[in-house]
């Protein structure tokens, strides 16, 4: 057996052990009662992956869009074993009042994550929360505090930690020392995913509760359905491409290299090319996350071409003995000198889960990772332990990206965040930006922090 075959066999064995342990146990237990908040694209995707790997009963769905909610209810009834149509809610607070859910999935837009996750753990549920976990740093601090106070498992949807080929390279390339001393890490995204345009303000449709959809965020004039791409193009609801895409790759780098908070964050950028349209998120940004032994540098452009067309959204780990390139689709180890190159491809499971092939909007390359992520979440629930993407890890990765945006807003000022004091060291102006202003009628969870 050559090295490549050995590594492939090792990865397969590792993946099977990680996947199989939960399945055998799950078949013997009572089905978890599940509710989903946010029935759009990725909310449904997360729910359907959970249905595929565990004997759950989906009893509640919540969304302010009645059309999307009804469609999700029909699909869920088709997917789940008992074929029951879940109860439907337009307000997550009414859903959680029932206090009859074991698991709540939070798949809403980013500006709702903190309130919904905290309310879910307060209702007695364990939570799977989509990334980024928050829109500001103090929201994230409050989310960690709530999870710990109520002793609940909270898994964050940074599922690169459960991506089979990335688990493989972490175990068999990084941890074996094949890179040697690591001196630099690069992260990037060059996808043209910044929705832009000038749609007119229009009357709100009767099936959408736009006030509820907006929640604590500023109430923008209604200019069309905000779902999927449109809301992401506004800082009112998220943290731009850095908050959406860097969080995945920064989290991956931290996991692979066993890193905590960066000691300093600096960022510059803005809207440099795509100046037309309503979008107010940066189309170009560079962020540097400083660690004791090396820097991690993020760059995104929502225009132009990627320097490496095989790795348009990726992580590059540079060591003295070689470089590891890694993405959701592949990984390559390139040695310095005449050593053996190693290539890994994404794992698909279309034969095992044929329904993946016909599911509308599915990310086929991410489905196996999300299934494994769900299994890790369920195993943590059973053991009452921390999952691989625990809320603290999600908070560290999310807030590091938020700090990059704060630095960019302050003209590229270096920021040192003290998580114990929850402040930017020596910078009162930056510290004020750790908490966003919320719309009247909504109480920011950061206000309750001791």
131 with 221, same domain? no
In angstroms, rounded to a whole number, what is the distance separating the alpha carbons of residues 306 and 319?
22
Residues 6+ away with beta carbon under 8 Å from 104: 34, 35, 36, 37, 96, 116, 120, 123, 125, 126, 127, 128
Report yes or no: 153 and 126 within 8 Å, Cβ to Cβ.
yes
Average pLDDT rounded to a whole number, residues 31-42: 96
Same domain for 125 and 244?
no
Same domain, 179 and 65: no
Tell me if 208 is assigned to some domain.
yes
Rounded mean pLDDT, 432-437: 98
Does residue 263 sit in the same domain as residue 286?
A: yes
Residue 386 lies in a domain: no
Instruction: Name the residue with tokens 């060291």.
Output: 425
49 with 167, same domain: the answer is no
- Closest CA relative to residue 391, chosen from 163, 139, 181, 219: 139
Q: Which residue(s) pair with 105 in the sheet?
A: 36, 128
In a domain, 41, yes or no: yes
DSSP secondary structure code for residue 203 in this structure: P
- Tokens linked to 364: 């086929």
State the pLDDT at residue 29: 61
The verdict on 134 and 279 lying in the same domain is no
Q: Kindly state whether residues 134 and 166 are assigned to the same domain.
A: no
What is the pLDDT averaged over residues 181-190?
98
Contacts of 20 (CB under 8 A, 6+ apart): none
The residue among 159, 181, 205 that closes a domain is 159
Structural domains counted in the chain:
2
pLDDT band at 9 (very low <50, low <70, confident <90, very high): very low
- Same domain for 98 and 9, yes or no, is yes
- With 60 as the cut, is the pLDDT of residue 10 above it? no
pLDDT at 238 over 60: yes
Identify the domain boundary among 159, 177, 199: 159
pTM: 0.93
List pLDDT tens digits, range 77-129.
999 999 999 999 999 999 999 999 999 999 999 999 999 999 999 999 999 99
Range of the domain at 89: 3-159
- For 439-442, the CB contacts below 8 A with 24+ separation are 439/214, 439/215, 439/216, 439/217, 439/218, 439/219, 442/115, 442/215, 442/216
pLDDT, tens digit (0-9, with 9 covering 90-100), for 334-368: 999 888 999 999 999 999 999 999 999 999 999 99
In angstroms, the CA 166 to CA 345 distance is: 9
Cα 243 to chain centroid, rounded: 9
Q: What is the pLDDT of residue 450?
A: 75
Mark whether 211 and 229 lie in a shared domain. yes
Up-side HSE of residue 414: CA atoms within 13 Å toward CB? 7
Q: First and final CA of the chain: distance in angstroms?
A: 58
State whether 318 and 275 are in the same domain: yes
Residues 305 and 410 in one domain: yes
Distance CA 278, CA 196 (A): 6
Residue 184: pLDDT over 60: yes
Position 27 pLDDT exceeds 50: no
In this predicted model, what pLDDT tens digit does every residue of 250-271 receive, in sequence order?
999 999 999 999 999 999 999 9
For residue 50, tell me if it sits in a domain.
yes
What CATH number is given to the structural domain containing 147?
Answer: 3.40.50.720
pLDDT tens string 369-427? 999 999 999 999 999 999 999 999 999 999 999 999 999 999 999 999 999 999 999 99
């Amino acid at each position: 057996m050559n090295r490549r075959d050995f590594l492939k066999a090792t990865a397969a064995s590792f993946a099977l052990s990680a996947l199989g342990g939960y399945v055998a146990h799950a078949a013997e237990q009572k089905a978890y009662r599940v509710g989903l908040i946010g029935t759009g694209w990725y909310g449904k995707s997360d729910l359907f992956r959970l249905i595929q790997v565990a004997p759950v009963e989906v009893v509640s769905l919540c969304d302010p869009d009645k059309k999307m909610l009804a469609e999700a209810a029909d699909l869920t009834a088709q997917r789940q074993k008992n074929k029951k149509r879940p109860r439907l809610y337009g307000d997550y607070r009414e859903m959680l009042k029932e206090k009859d859910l074991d698991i709540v999935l939070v798949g809403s837009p980013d500006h709702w994550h903190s309130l919904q996750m905290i309310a879910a753990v307060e209702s007695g549920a364990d939570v799977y929360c989509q990334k980024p976990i928050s829109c500001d740093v103090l929201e994230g601090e409050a989310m960690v505090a709530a999870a710990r106070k109520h002793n609940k498992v909270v898994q964050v949807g940074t599922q690169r930690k459960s991506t089979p080929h990335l688990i493989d390279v972490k175990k068999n390339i990084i941890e074996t020392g094949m890179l040697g001393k690591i001196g630099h890490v690069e992260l990037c995204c060059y996808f043209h995913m910044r929705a832009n345009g000038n749609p007119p303000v229009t009357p709100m449709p009767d099936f959408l509760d736009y006030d509820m959809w907006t929640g604590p965020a500023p109430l923008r004039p209604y200019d069309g359905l905000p779902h999927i791409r449109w809301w992401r193009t506004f800082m009112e609801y998220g943290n731009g491409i850095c908050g959406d895409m860097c969080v995945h790759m920064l989290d991956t780098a931290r996991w692979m290299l066993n890193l905590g908070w960066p000691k300093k964050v600096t960022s510059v950028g803005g809207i440099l090319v795509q100046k037309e349209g309503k979008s107010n998120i940066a189309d170009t940004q560079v962020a540097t996350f400083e660690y004791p032994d090396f820097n991690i540098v993020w760059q995104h452009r929502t225009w132009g071409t990627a320097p490496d067309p095989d790795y348009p959204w990726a992580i590059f780990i540079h060591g003295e003995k070689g470089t590891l390139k890694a993405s959701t689709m592949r990984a390559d180890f390139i040695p310095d000198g005449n050593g053996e190159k190693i290539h890994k491809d994404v794992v698909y499971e279309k034969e095992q889960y044929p329904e993946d092939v016909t599911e509308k909007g599915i990310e086929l390359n991410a489905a196996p990772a999300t299934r494994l992520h769900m299994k890790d979440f369920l195993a943590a629930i059973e053991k009452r332990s921390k999952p691989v993407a625990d809320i603290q890890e999600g908070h560290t990765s999310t807030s590091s990206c938020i700090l990059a945006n704060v630095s960019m807003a302050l003209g590229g000022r270096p920021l040192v965040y003290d998580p114990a004091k929850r402040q930017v060291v020596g910078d009162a102006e930056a510290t004020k930006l750790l908490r966003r202003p919320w719309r009247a009628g909504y109480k920011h969870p950061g206000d309750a922090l001791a």
